[in-house]
Amino acid sequence: MIEKKEKDKAALVLFSGGQDSTVCLYWALKNFDRVEAVCFRYGQRHETELEAAQAIAKAAGVEISIIDASMIAGLSKSSTLTNLSMKMENEQNDSAFLPGTFVPGRNLLFISIAAVIARERNIANIITGVSQADYSGYPDCRDEFVRSLNQTLNLAMDEQFVIHTPLMWLDKAAVWQLADQLGIFELVKTKTVTCYNGIYGAGCGECIACKLRNNGLEKYENQK
């Protein structure tokens, strides 16, 4: 059997310091020989997630790059994550409208930039923690979008990238279960920043991200 090429053994993780991306980081460490991480400063409400991402990556022995993508916030003022004058919504949006926390173009740009970095660093695998099983209704978290972008990036750069989405069909309880299986349950529980208001661990308990995270944790602990 021919040994896999070096680039096929390497992975680049889109990393935010939150629950999902931390699970993805350790999933990558289990499945690939060389793992690097990339984190984006895009004009988000707080710097706490960047601090968490750097601390977690350092503890895991993973090289992390912080990329300035602040033009995202400059291009659109419609998201509560990038427009500090807007009030953060605390309820799941079940209407036909997109959630107020949706940042237009964010995942499209993040993954595209990650692909450029991966190409330069001889990395074939790109890992992102998007999910459409238990999420806030973002269209750029759907499997259809990721598969489409994967094909587009391969055509655009004449590469054979593989975008991995290990959480795509997992609800938050299953993400907690995977964290437990990877041996990082307490790390995810206490050291990550999933909260839209930038609070570690259980967070503010009021924003949509916190409610999804904490409801999933309660569900998983009740199942154990």
Domain boundaries, the chain: 6-223
pLDDT of residue 97: 66
Provide the sign of the torsion angle of the four alpha carbons 59, 65, 70, 72, taken in this order.
negative
In angstroms, rounded to a whole number, what is the distance separating the alpha carbons of residues 150 and 27?
Answer: 20
**34-41, strands of its sheet edge to edge:** 63-68, 34-41, 10-14, 125-127, 162-164
Q: For the whole prediction, is pTM greater than 0.75?
A: yes
Q: Which two tokens stand for residue 191?
A: 């050291």
Residue whose C-alpha is closest to residue 174's, from 203, 144, 217, 206: 217
In angstroms, rounded to a whole number, what is the distance separating the alpha carbons of residues 19 and 29?
Answer: 16
Q: What is the pLDDT along the chain (224 residues), one digit of tens a residue?
A: 344 688 899 999 999 999 999 999 999 999 999 999 999 998 888 899 999 999 999 999 999 999 999 888 888 788 887 777 777 665 555 445 677 878 888 999 999 999 999 999 999 999 999 999 876 678 999 999 999 999 999 999 999 999 999 999 999 999 999 999 999 999 999 999 999 999 999 999 999 899 999 999 999 999 97
Amino acid at 49: E
In angstroms, rounded to a whole number, what is the distance separating the alpha carbons of residues 196 and 79?
Answer: 12
Residue 206: partners with Cβ closer than 8 Å, 6 or more residues away? 90, 197
Superfamily in which the 6-223 domain is placed by CATH? HUPs (3.40.50.620)
pLDDT of residue 1: 34
pLDDT of residue 95: 46
